[in-house]
Structure 1
Amino acid sequence: MRERFRKVARAGCLVLLIAAGCAVLWGVLELRKHQRRDAADRTLNGEGVISPSWRVSGDCRPRTTAERSRDEAVADLLHHFDHQRVNPGLGYKEQYFAWRWRIAGSSGSCSPSPEHYRRLAGVLVPLGWPKLPTDRSDLELTRRLPPSPALARNLAELAFASHPLPFGPLEYDNRPFARIMLAEQGRFARPWGRRALTEIAPDTKLGTSAATLAAATVPQQAAPRIAAALTAMTQEADRRRKRIEGLKGGPHIVYQLRDGERLFELADALATAGPAAEPHAEPLGQTFGSGSHFGLLPAEPTYLCAAADRIGGRAAVAASRASFCRTPALAPANGAR
């Protein structure tokens, strides 16, 4: 009897050990799955808000004689190298006119002459630029190159690539930025407007950047869809508010950090639609009517002030009633408020 008990006990211990091992293995697999999911989400959505060019301040000082001379010297590099995509002269010139000019001189200067960018586009774009691998800093060059059908096609290849295009140490996806740069190609971006319209979504950077592209190309169709995305986000934030206890001071909308960033991007997209956005701006106007929490901490959505002012109408009126939109840095240029 005692021997039988020992056998049963040993069998039970073995079963427990196997169960414990399985539990540990399951935990490790789940942890790795979450790590992969978090890494993928960080790549796709971890980057901060990408501002469209209309948000970039135009205040700058004229370039000095020394800075203009340096611009000319870099521009002349093309005369010393063959016009091929992979050569040191063209590569450095690309970087210089994209971003190095900012750090080569004193701060606050205007960008180099548009003529330099026109000549550079005449060399880079026929070679298929931008194409992989193109670093984000270099991709900033598209903000200053003159729009063209060829540049729009090259950007569209990046913007609608079937897989993430990581850049930088954190490997953020480059496709959302490419979509916003494509939106700034004006009429040359219209062939991709319908596709962008079908990809509008409030929960990913690909979805919000698609909203910006659609707003720039098919604004009448895009504006109501962007408004619907804003409404869905606001409703989810309101449901979250009702689940959270301890928030004082009246009604609040609660946005998690990523949600707040997507909200800002959708607001920029709606503002990009121009006059077509005004009849659909009510969801944005409601944001000014209640306190907001971003990252579960009290914060006023000052980023939205410029978007509301650009849309005009009721959105601008709602923003004008918000005290945080009346600071000098956020006051509208057209005197609407």
Structure 2
Amino acid sequence: MSGAGRIRVACLGAGYFAQFHYDSWARMPEVELVGSCDMDLVKAAATGLPAYDDVGQMLDEADPDVLDIILPPDAHAAAIEQAIVHGVKTIICQKPFCRALAEARHITHRAESAGVTLVVHENFRFQPWYRAIKSALADGAVGQFHQATFRFRPGDGQGPRAYLDRQPYFQKMPRFLVHETAVHWIDTFRYLFGEPVSVYADLRKLNPVIDGEDAGYILFEYANGARTLFDGNRHLDHAADNLRRTMGEALIEGSEGVINLTGDGAVSLRAKGAIEADPILGADAWNGFGGDCVHAFQSHVIAGLKSGSAFENTAPDYLNVLEIEEAVYASAKLGQKIDLRAK
């Protein structure tokens, strides 16, 4: 799609996280929001858009160029199918993408066969600190890359009311820490460091009121011998005025220096042998979610539609993330390293 006309966007879902989607779309002069659909019609109406509780009716009446699916994974495949049937040619779908890898593969193939562009709304790689880190690595800031660690510490997992005030379905997800959350860093590590060749995982559940795991280690190996570690624990916090800004802290270490990400979104570089670090990116001042990464991602999609440029995180590419996720769970179950090259 290209040209000067506004792109018509309809949204399916009006729950907690949807607020960031609607806010972002409303800030784009090249976008016209044409409808909101939710099982709770009151929530859909609260967006101020034409409100629906039937997605088929919305697609027929609003005739969007883009459908933005902002639903939990159980509803993804059916919603994508409906959009395909109704002739929508560009679909954005929130993560976690579908319920399982097999379902994601099926609906991805269905979209490809119908000539539909399906993009997974994976926005963490669009957070400004990861864009800055990517640029620094490309410039050789740390020399030969050796290892990286991300310490996931959102501090929201303790007690019987964990997650109930924001996203209550978290408590009932049989696969939680990895399927819902660590997939962000599976994708971000791919963006920063390339495709891993093996994975080892040790997962556990600390809060007895939830169904899935909420803590664990995931160790990735790369063809050049480098390693990255996702160290996740939803019960613990980190030094930040907003625990949901970066959700943790990171170190990216190499032969010539160390890049440090702190909880305020600042990125710095300490050269090998130095005491002080030099700033790469200042502290984040955005009051919303994740350095305004939702807006960065959605702007990326609109720019691609207007110019014909390539999209990041199309569904066929994102299947790699889900294949790695399956390997993570297999590793944790078997207690052994999984070779990702042996697909």
**The structure with more radius of gyration:** 1
Higher normalized strand content (fraction of residues): 2
Q: TM-score when scaled to structure 2?
A: 0.27
Q: TM-score when scaled to structure 1?
A: 0.28
